[in-house]
Amino acid sequence: MSTHTIELTQENLIGSFTNEVTPILSVKSGDSIRFQTLDAGWGTGVSYVERMKPFDRQGEKDGGHALIGPIYIDEAKQGQTLEIVFNEIVPGSYGFTSAGGYPNWQNQKLHLTEVEELSLNWTLDRRTMSGSCEIKGKSFTVSLSPFMGVVGMPPESGGIHTTWPPRYCGGNIDCKELVQGSKLYLPIPVDGGYLAIGDGHARQGDGEVSCQAIECPMEVVDVTLNVIDDMILTNPRAHTPSGWITFGFHEDLNEATVQALDGMLNLMGELYGLDRVEAIALGSAVIDLRITQIVNGVKGVHAVLPHDAFK
């Protein structure tokens, strides 16, 4: 088991999911990796002030979120499961949130227009784990709960795959529950995995309603990668400090809900030896369904089974 450090350089960044490029690093199952990230808009992780446009290292490949990767896992084979353990997540010193500038159905329904575009600048304090901003001269302060918004692998071999939607193999999941101490389980779609991680969020509410969380660079991200043979998944699941989570992704929120619940019934069967009718009957008392995000085209729902659900 080794620990690797990835430097924050142009050569170690990519704006897509693909296995058509040379990985920036090859690791073995059980290895840990430490790195910094830019914010999702390719802001520099050095000065925390300047911004840069997407790098042109690979042309169209750099059109999405600024991600560290891809990382090749030697033992990873298609059909296995990759466990990503978030050992440490430390935000940078600034963040931003925009609203109103996206001409989509949500803003139209809410009567938000591009004329009303607003950008909040946040000051992040890692000592107190709080963030502050001002609106119309009034200060607002929130506690921080940092996590990585994009964690995933290319959905199939070959091609350039956008970072914007969430998929069965990860991507733009944007789940606020995936904080430090969490373990995310992703189906491995291609040999080697070709994992990429980025899109730091200092805090987000369920839904990510403005299309952005508190977007921020990350000063430290430390993960451990494990390949698991005996866990067969069709969608991601996670073990977080507060509970187990299963995910559903679809353009239709109802279908995403069914997927998340289906995954939770399977999980309760594994944990407690329940059939599906028993699991849904018991689960009706303890499972929480939450809207992960509604802004990435493909919507997300996650089902939560709290660790203290059963006394």
| C-alpha count within 13 angstroms, C-beta hemisphere, residue 212 | 21
pTM, two decimal places: 0.92
Q: Residue 139, CB half-sphere, CA atoms under 13 Å: how many?
A: 5
Q: Please tell me the predicted confidence (pLDDT) of residue 9.
A: 86
What was the pLDDT predicted at 44? 55
Q: How confident is the model at residue 40 (pLDDT cuts 50, 70, 90)?
A: confident
Spatial separation of the C-alpha atoms in residues 213 and 236, rounded to whole Å: 21
Domains and CATH numbers, the chain: 3-95+143-228 (2.60.120.580), 242-306 (3.10.28.20)
Res 60 pLDDT > 60: no
Give the neighbor-by-neighbor strand order of the sheet with 299-306.
3-6, 32-37, 218-228, 81-91, 183-187, 237-239, 243-250, 299-306, 288-293
pLDDT confidence band for 53 (50 / 70 / 90): very low
pLDDT at 54 over 70: no
Q: What is the DSSP string of 197-223?
A: EEEEES---TB-TTS--SB--EEEEEE
* pLDDT score recorded for residue 113: 61
Nearest to 269 by CA among 277, 256, 231: 277
In this structure, what token pair is assigned to residue 213? Answer: 């969380």
CA distance 178 to 152: 13
Q: Please check the confidence at residue 162 and state whether its pLDDT lies above 80.
A: yes
pLDDT of residue 45: 45
CB-based contacts of 130-138 (< 8 A; 24+ apart in sequence): 131/95, 131/202, 131/203, 131/214, 133/97
- Give mean pLDDT, residues 248-263: 98
Q: What proportion of the chain, given as a percentage, has pLDDT over 70?
A: 89
Q: How far apart are CA 209 and CA 271, in angstroms?
A: 33
Per-residue pLDDT tens digits for 211-235: 899 999 999 999 999 999 999 999 9
pLDDT at site 109: 66
Left (φ > 0), alpha (ψ -120 to 50) or beta: where does 274 sit?
A: beta
Give yes or no for residue 80 having a pLDDT over 80. yes
**Percentage of the chain surpassing pLDDT 90?**
77
